[in-house]
């Protein structure tokens, strides 16, 4: 039968629309037998049209979806709703869809079957699952994580952030940081946020701030910029880590180190430590002054750079001897001439080397005192006693 041209054109356009649309179109008669499918529907099911036409729709669906579809087909047209469904292809892969069923009527108003419209939302479901996993991972993290957009509004906060600020997530998302946590918007943090947005570079800073659940805390904050498809930075993620305990340990260690150095520097003599590479690893103030510098200037340098002549040769010999007998103390006496404003001294030095460590390292230690006054007093006593005709005791 020849159709009028305007009807033929309209039919042609409808056919093209069915062929081109990304939505799956599946027509079935009242018994559920497939009468027509478009290419998109074939792709979703992983089947060709010839294999589908004439087959019952329920045979090509999973049992649960088939049951839901039977119930849907029995409902009045005005109660139809979008339904989530999953199509399983012959190769085992799955297509997540949203399905809508529409009743068809012929010219007489009688039932002519149903049109099922299927929309592929697989990519969206995968993205939602990924976001859910990221959300679970973020909530499991002990660090406080938040995301702020370019307008300064919160787009995401994790559980740790909510606990630290004693705020519910629903009261934070979409609100400006000045409304949510005005005490946290210090000038330095505003500057850091703007810098991260404009420079598009990660940023790491330290701040001491007050948190609702714990009071003052030392925070280590990392800023990470996130851009859109055009490369424009639209969001900044902030990861706040409470390092108060670590900072307290470091402060205690520094204080202990300072106390130890003060004690060693108060020692009325000379202390030095030299490693297996013959480099100074410690000198106290007195030793550094005798060597012509400060502890900071001496530590790290080789004895070849600091000593010279017979003193250098003497030290190398003694260090080598001590390294061969670790743990065995050795007492020496040796005079040293004046240096700068420092007078000549005669040092009595206790030398000892540590055992070799598991890493193959060894350290030489020297503890010296100036016995020049003692020797001079002893000579004066001996001279006085000699003039008196008396003999000195061999015991000193």
> In angstroms, what CA-CA distances link 243 with 121, 133, 143, 251?
44, 27, 10, 12
Whether the Cβ atoms of residue 136 and residue 157 lie closer than 8 Å to each other:
no
Q: Which residue has the higher pLDDT, 224 or 9?
A: 224
Protein fold of 133-247: Beta-Lactamase (3.30.450)
List, for residues 325-351, the tens digit of each pLDDT value: 999 999 999 888 888 888 888 899 999
Mean pLDDT value across the chain: 84
Q: How far apart are CA 243 and CA 208, in angstroms?
A: 10
pLDDT score for 279:
95
> What are the residue boundaries of the structural domains of the chain, listed by start?
16-124, 133-247, 267-376
List, for residues 367-381, the tens digit of each pLDDT value: 998 887 777 777 766
Whether the Cβ atoms of residue 129 and residue 102 lie closer than 8 Å to each other:
no
pLDDT score for 162:
92
**Core vs surface per residue 146-169: b (16+ CB within 10 A) or e:** bbbbeebbbbbbbbbbbebbebee
pLDDT score for 102:
84
pLDDT score for 150:
86
* Mean pLDDT for the stretch of residues 355-359: 88
| Fold agreement (133-247, 267-376) | yes
Q: Which residue has the higher pLDDT, 174 or 227?
A: 174
List, for residues 21-67, the tens digit of each pLDDT value: 889 999 998 888 999 999 999 999 999 999 899 999 988 888 888 88
Q: Residues 326, 331, 337, 340: is their CA dihedral positive or negative?
A: positive
pLDDT band at 78, cuts 50/70/90? low
List, for residues 379-390, the tens digit of each pLDDT value: 766 676 666 665
Q: How far apart are CA 231 and CA 254, in angstroms?
A: 45
Q: How far apart are CA 391 and CA 385, in angstroms?
A: 6
pLDDT score for 245:
84
Q: Which residue has the higher pLDDT, 73 or 158?
A: 158
Kindly tell me if the per-residue pLDDT of 16 is higher than 80.
no
* Mean pLDDT for the stretch of residues 127-156: 83
Closest to 44 measured CA to CA, from 106, 88, 99 = 88
Kindly tell me if the per-residue pLDDT of 313 is higher than 80.
yes
Q: How far apart are CA 341 and CA 354, in angstroms?
A: 34
pLDDT score for 74:
66
Q: How far apart are CA 327 and CA 322, in angstroms?
A: 8
Q: What is the 3-state secondary structure (H, E, C) of 252-276?
A: HHHHHHHHHHHHHHHCCCEEEEEEC
pLDDT band at 136, cuts 50/70/90? confident
pLDDT score for 258:
76
Whether the Cβ atoms of residue 75 and residue 83 lie closer than 8 Å to each other:
no
* Mean pLDDT for the stretch of residues 104-125: 85
% of the chain with per-residue pLDDT over 70: 89
Protein fold of 267-376: Beta-Lactamase (3.30.450)
The residues near 111 (Cβ < 8 Å, ≥ 6 apart) are 30, 103, 104, 105
* Mean pLDDT for the stretch of residues 105-121: 84
- Beta-carbon count within 10 A of 25 CB: 18
Quick one: tokens of 31? 């018994």
Q: Which residue has the higher pLDDT, 258 or 389?
A: 258
Protein fold of 16-124: Beta-Lactamase (3.30.450)
pLDDT score for 181:
77
pLDDT band at 396, cuts 50/70/90? very low
Quick one: tokens of 2? 């020849």
pLDDT score for 69:
83
% of the chain with per-residue pLDDT over 90: 33
List, for residues 176-219, the tens digit of each pLDDT value: 988 887 766 778 888 888 888 888 888 899 988 888 888 888 99
């Amino acid at each position: 039968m020849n159709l009028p041209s305007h009807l033929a054109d309209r039919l042609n356009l409808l056919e093209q629309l069915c062929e081109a649309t990304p939505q799956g179109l599946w027509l079935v008669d009242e018994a559920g037998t497939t009468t027509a499918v478009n290419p998109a529907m074939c792709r979703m099911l992983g089947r060709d049209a010839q294999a589908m036409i004439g087959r019952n729709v329920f045979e090509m669906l999973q049992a649960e979806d088939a049951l839901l579809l039977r119930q849907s087909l029995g409902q009045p047209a005005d109660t139809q709703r979008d339904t989530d469904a999953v199509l399983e292809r012959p190769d085992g892969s799955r297509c997540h869809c949203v399905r809508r069923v529409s009743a068809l009527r012929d010219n007489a108003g009688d039932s002519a079957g149903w049109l099922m419209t299927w929309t592929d939302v697989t990519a969206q479901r995968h993205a939602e699952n990924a976001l859910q996993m990221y959300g679970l991972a973020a909530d499991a993290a002990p660090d406080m994580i938040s995301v702020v957009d370019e307008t300064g509004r919160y787009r995401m906060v994790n559980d740790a952030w909510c606990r630290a600020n004693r705020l519910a997530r629903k009261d934070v998302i979409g609100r400006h940081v000045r409304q949510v946590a005005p005490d946290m918007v210090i000038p330095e943090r505003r500057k850091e946020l703007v810098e991260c947005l404009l420079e598009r570079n990660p940023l790491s800073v330290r701040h001491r701030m007050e948190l609702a659940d714990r009071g003052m805390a030392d925070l280590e904050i990392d800023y990470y910029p996130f851009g859109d498809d055009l490369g424009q930075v639209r969001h900044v993620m902030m990861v706040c880590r409470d390092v108060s305990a670590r900072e307290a340990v470091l402060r205690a260690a520094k204080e202990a180190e300072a106390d130890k150095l003060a004690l060693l520097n108060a020692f009325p003599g000379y202390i030095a430590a030299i490693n297996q590479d013959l480099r100074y690893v410690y000198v106290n103030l007195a030793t550094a002054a005798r060597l012509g510098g400060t502890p900071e200037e001496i530590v790290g340098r080789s004895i070849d750079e600091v000593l010279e002549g017979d003193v250098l040769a003497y030290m190398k010999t003694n260090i080598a001897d001590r390294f061969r007998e670790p743990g065995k103390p050795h007492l020496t006496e040796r005079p040293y001439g004046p240096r700068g404003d420092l007078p000549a001294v005669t040092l009595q030095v206790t030398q000892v080397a540590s055992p070799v460590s598991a890493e193959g390292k060894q350290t030489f230690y020297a503890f010296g005192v100036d016995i020049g006054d003692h020797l001079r007093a002893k000579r004066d006593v001996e001279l006085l006693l000699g003039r008196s005709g008396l003999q000195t005791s061999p015991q000193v």
